[in-house]
Amino acid sequence: MNELIVIFLSMALINNFILVRYLGLCPFLGVSKELGPAVSMGIAVTFVMIIASLATWLINHYILIPFDIQYMYIIVFILVIASLVQVIELFIKKTNIALYSAFGIYLPLITTNCAVLGVTIINMMGSYTLLESLVAALGGGLGFTLVLAIMAGIREKLELADTPRAMKGAPIALITATLLGLAFFGFVGIV
């Protein structure tokens, strides 16, 4: 149990996907302007991360390893993620229209989100068990959502602030990320 808590905290806070590993920067700069969409995007990414970790773990252990074709992992993982996202999109569209209108537009973007492919590769390279992979995906996704939400909250206020004209938009967002990243260093001592 301790192992799982350590993995969760490490993925969510200490090695945060956005601030420490630089994964998923496109949505970080793109959809972190308002709190609502930022949280929706974060939850959608977390969901896809968990499903993708489950699928890639099974494929890795029951197809790639038995046939000794682990070097194929990049092609297999990206295709699995791309098709999973399509299936999830279709499923949500047919079953829950309200959910679809909330998450739908973010799902296609998630295919090329490095955070999702990143978590599956981290799971594989760390030789995590199935449970550990799922916990790592949950931690990574929640950490991603947390930073996206914090950032959106700050940027909502920042819009009204008197920022120098040249720093408006992406530059000031990146400087804010620097300060957030420094703050997150405080978590290093947890485990």
Partner 1 sequence: MGKFAQEFAKGLIITNPVLVLLLGLCPALAVSTSIDNALGMTLAVLIVLLGSNIIIAAMRNFVPSITRIPIFIVIIATLVTVVNLLFHAYLPDLHETLGIYLPLVVVNCIVLGRAEAFASKNPVVRSIADALGMTVGFMLALLMISLIRQMLGTGEMSVFGVHFFSLPVLSSRPVAIFILPPGGFLVIGLLLGLFKWTGVLKR
Per CB under 8 A, residues contacting partner 1 are 19-26, 29, 71-75, 78-79, 82, 112-114, 117-118, 121-122, 125, 164-167, 170-175, 177-179, 181-182, 185
Q: CA distances (Å), 97 to each of 88, 91, 100, in order? A: 13, 10, 5
Residue number with CB closer to partner 1 (35 or 121): 121
Residue number with CB closer to partner 1 (30 or 36): 30
102 CB burial (10 A radius; 0-12, 13-18, 19+): middle
Q: CA distances (Å), 32 to each of 14, 116, 144, in order? A: 21, 18, 11
Q: Are 123 and 56 in contact (CB under 8 A)?
A: yes
Residue number with CB closer to partner 1 (87 or 99): 87
Residue number with CB closer to partner 1 (58 or 182): 182
DSSP string covering 20-65, please?
Answer: TT--SHHHHHHS-SSHHHHHHHHHHHHHHHHHHHHHHHHHIIIIIT
Residue number with CB closer to partner 1 (19 or 135): 19
